Amino acid sequence: MKTAVETVPSYVLDAWWMPDAGAPATDARDASTGEVLARVSAEGLDLAAVVEHARTVGQEELGRLTMHGRALKLRELAGYLNGRREELYAVSAQTGATRGDSMVDIDGGIGVLFTFSSKGRRELPNSNVVVEGPVEPLSKDGSFIGEHIYTRIPGADVQVNAFNFPVWGMLEKFAPAFLAGVPTIVKPATPGMHLAAAAVRAMVDSGILPPGSLQLVAGSARDLLDQLDYRDMVSFTGSAATAALLRAHPNVSGGGVRFTAETDSLNAAILGPDAMPGTPEFEAFIRSVVTEMTVKAGQKCTAIRRAIVPDGLRGAVIDAVGARINERVVVGDPRTEGVTMGALASLEQLADVRAAVEAMLAAGGELAHGTLAAPGVPDAAGPGSGVGRGAFMSPVLLDWPDAEAAAVHTLEAFGPVCGVLGFSTHDGGASEAVRLAALGAGSLVATVCSNDPDFVREVVTGIAARHGRVLVLNREDARTSTGHGSPVPHLVHGGPGRAGGGEELGGIRSVKHHMQRTAIQGSPNMLTAVTGVWHEGADRRIAGEAEFGGVAGEVHPFRKSLAELRIGDAFASGLRPVSLEDITAFAESTGDTFYAHTDPVAAAKNPFFPGIVAHGYLLVSWAAGLFVEPAPGPVLANYGLEKLRFLTPVAAGDSIRVTLTAKEISPRVTDDYGEVRWDTVINNQNGDVVASYDVLTLVEKEDTLYKSRGRRATVPRPP
Ligand code: NAP
């Protein structure tokens, strides 16, 4: 007996929601068999309440955590989803995806969570205010300064996603939004909705997500944008036509809703004239073209649509691509043994791709490999199994005798289709290749295969402004490269012009897309209060030498654990004289006998020095001796210096002193210690700044680790 087809539920207001039984719905079908798997509908869903829930409950709950707290949750979530991959692969196979395709989608999405977790903890503060750039002095006496800060936007990030990567497409946007502290409302595309919903179910089951931080609208929800205002943002992925439609929505065009789009893109792969058949670069080019035509049956926004090759190599490229397809590609139901390329997402998608290819054939493209006829498909389930209703298509390679034909530079066939176009090499070829690539009017990615540095430089600098990412493949990285079609979370994914102008990935930059940059002006004390970072000129509690601000009774900050330490806690040393013997001894013991430290005549001729001067590293070492608190205590280690500048030379007879101020305190969420950044200034006897830098230390949260264990069992890891 056939069981009733279930409707894919939405997850809203922290609960699962279903439309009324009789509500109009769209069928979600198995891409290979045509079997109806589920129904998709969000008819009757109160979208205003969904958005309000994100703005209130989601914002509040995410705001209870710091950036590091949220980063850790991303790691936990990634670990949890790793354990549920098999069940997601099974659902993914229903969308036509092979095991390899599913791994790109599911493992790739989980990988994005891991990457943002570790980048967030390494590159963002353990707070909710991100300071950007240097402090700008705005008054002569230092009482009025300015800088930029980022804080999260106050609304929701509404994802409108394409059908091709239901999991990765969601997680690549979710991770940076979550890290920023912005709740997500995800509206996946109708095909693949059941896979996106299965992934959301796993995320909800994990119990890791704070209330309101993720909601799923499992239906078309055409009026979702009606609910949004200037507090919210839309992260769109899909066709250029839909992007244009949504951009024109009054809440976007006039209401201040932030809108980013990742749209279609006619990505190029360019073969250098040096990359003759038989070279590793030629091989890498052929491999890339075939991979991009067949992974996910070519339904990838990053897929290579235009293979731009030296005119004389067109035939060789077509033959090699055709041979590799014949050798490796078996089209069919991805659940069948031996199949290497699955179905397109739906019969509608298949019809669209075929129509695009027919339009290209009519516009001058010539069929060089493959056919538009339905491919022979291994029918594991036997005759009558329904495989005939699958959205199968052979890989199609088109040859373009006229490389300027408009259709190859404007029509996207979102399937296993690529065109080959030739460029003249009479002037080296680079400028011609650049000109053809530019006809795509802005793309997500291009690959250049060449081992000629001049060709590579000319092409990359020529096309970079029209691309979000450029991959250069030669014999050195062809085997280790992550490939043309795989965006990595550390680097930009997005592109100008036709590609939509967005940037959904790009390391911490993509977190900041969910935040507002604000210029803050005020006194050092007020900017310290706002940012949690000590600013020069703000109040301090100084221990140490009374002559230089030390106050009797103040405890040396190195004796304070993180529980006691406050930003602005400082130490001022007394003066230490510098003698020629000290400089000579340092030169001899280190071997740094640079003439400015050893030869008075030569040193006097140096435009920067008055004569023999002390080594900068001698001064930095002495400064450590001046500020250190030698007995065991809460400071566990010094793990580096940053921003070191030597500003005033120190000669024999001068003296130096050091002032150290706790500038930024970052307790680690998972460890018994955290990082403290110390603003450090070395002055001479006249008060001139000799050197300035940040000292980085690891400090215990409570002053107990050392005392309680004597010797620590675990060695703290520097960041
Ligand atoms: P699409 O038809 O533009 O649909 C994209 C999303 O927009 C779907 O969730 C769709 O929902 C929704 N949508 C469509 N019309 C809408 C409307 N009037 N109001 C509100 N939402 C609307 O694109 P697709 O067919 O899913 O994806 C294929 C395209 O996406 C290709 O052109 C491909 O190049 C592009 N793509 C780009 C990237 C990238 O990163 N640049 C990535 C993947 C795909 P329904 O499904 O409910 O209609």
Confidence of residue 384 (pLDDT cuts 50, 70, 90): very low
Distances (CA, A) of 543 to 537, 548, 550, 627: 17, 10, 5, 10
**Residue 515 near residue 153, CB atoms below 8 Å:** yes
Q: Which of 224, 200, 174, 229 is nearest to 62 (CA)?
A: 174
**Of the residues 220, 235, 410, 493, which should be mutated to test ligand 1's pocket, given the most ligand atoms within 8 Å of the CB?**
220
| DSSP character string of 591-643 | ----HHHH-HHHHHHSTT-SSSB--HHHHHHHHHHHH---SS-SEEEEEEEEE
pLDDT single digits (tens) 322-359: 999 999 999 999 999 999 999 999 999 999 999 999 99
Confidence of residue 503 (pLDDT cuts 50, 70, 90): confident
Q: Which of 697, 709, 712 is nearest to 561 (CA)?
A: 697
pLDDT single digits (tens) 628-655: 999 999 999 999 999 999 999 999 999 9
Neighbours of 600 (CB within 10 A): 12
Least confident of 530-544, 682-696, 704-718: 704-718
Nearest CA to ligand 1 atom 17: 222
Determine the pLDDT at residue 150. Answer: 98
With 0-12 / 13-18 / 19 or more C-beta atoms within 10 angstroms meaning exposed / middle / buried, residue 651 is middle
Cα 701 to chain centroid distance, Å, stands at: 31
Determine the average pLDDT of the residues in 492-497: 91
**Ligand 1 center to residue 345 CA distance, Å?**
13
Tell me the C-alpha distance between 342 and 334, whole Å.
5
Determine the average pLDDT of the residues in 562-567: 96
**Residue 306 near residue 266, CB atoms below 8 Å:** yes
Distances (CA, A) of 64 to 121, 206, 351, 662, 667: 17, 19, 49, 25, 16
**Ligand 1 center to residue 532 CA distance, Å?**
42
- Domains of the chain plus CATH, in order, are 7-139+151-261 (3.40.605.10), 267-376+390-499 (3.40.309.10), 540-709 (3.10.129.10)
**Of the residues 10, 158, 223, 237, which should be mutated to test ligand 1's pocket, given the most ligand atoms within 8 Å of the CB?**
237
Determine the pLDDT at residue 22. Answer: 87
Nearest CA to ligand 1 atom 14: 242
Nearest CA to ligand 1 atom 13: 242
With 0-12 / 13-18 / 19 or more C-beta atoms within 10 angstroms meaning exposed / middle / buried, residue 4 is exposed
Nearest CA to ligand 1 atom 19: 222
Q: Which residues are catalytically annotated? A: 262, 301
**Ligand 1 center to residue 213 CA distance, Å?**
23
Q: Which atom from ligand 1 is nearest to the alpha carbon of 241?
A: 3
**Ligand 1 center to residue 348 CA distance, Å?**
14
Nearest CA to ligand 1 atom 33: 264
Tell me the C-alpha distance between 325 and 328, whole Å.
5
| DSSP character string of 324-374 | HHHHH--BS-TTSTT--B---S-HHHHHHHHHHHHHHHHTT-EEEE--SSP
**Residue 27 near residue 39, CB atoms below 8 Å:** yes
Protein residues whose CB sits closer than 6 Å to any atom of ligand 1: 160-164, 187, 189-190, 220, 222, 237-239, 242, 245-246, 262-265, 301, 412, 414, 444, 499-500
**Of the residues 8, 45, 236, 242, which should be mutated to test ligand 1's pocket, given the most ligand atoms within 8 Å of the CB?**
242
pLDDT single digits (tens) 428-447: 999 999 999 999 999 999 99
**Ligand 1 center to residue 242 CA distance, Å?**
6
**Of the residues 26, 29, 163, which should be mutated to test ligand 1's pocket, given the most ligand atoms within 8 Å of the CB?**
163
Q: Which atom from ligand 1 is nearest to the alpha carbon of 487?
A: 40
Q: Which atom from ligand 1 is nearest to the alpha carbon of 261?
A: 41
Q: Which atom from ligand 1 is nearest to the alpha carbon of 190?
A: 46
Q: Which atom from ligand 1 is nearest to the alpha carbon of 262?
A: 41
Q: Kind of pairing, strands 467-473 and 443-449?
A: parallel
Q: Which atom from ligand 1 is nearest to the alpha carbon of 242?
A: 3
Tell me the C-alpha distance between 3 and 655, whole Å.
88
Q: Which atom from ligand 1 is nearest to the alpha carbon of 187?
A: 9
**Ligand 1 center to residue 266 CA distance, Å?**
16
Q: Kind of pairing, strands 267-271 and 304-310?
A: parallel
Start-to-end C-alpha separation, the chain: 59
**Ligand 1 center to residue 186 CA distance, Å?**
13
pLDDT single digits (tens) 27-45: 999 999 999 999 999 999 9
Nearest CA to ligand 1 atom 16: 242
**Ligand 1 center to residue 250 CA distance, Å?**
19
For 146-203, give the secondary structure using H, E and C: EEEEEEECCCCEEEECCCCCCCHHHHHHHHHHHHHCCCEEEECCCCCHHHHHHHHHHH
Residue 144 pLDDT greater than 90, yes or no: yes
Distances (CA, A) of 491 to 105, 166, 468, 506, 682: 18, 21, 9, 4, 38
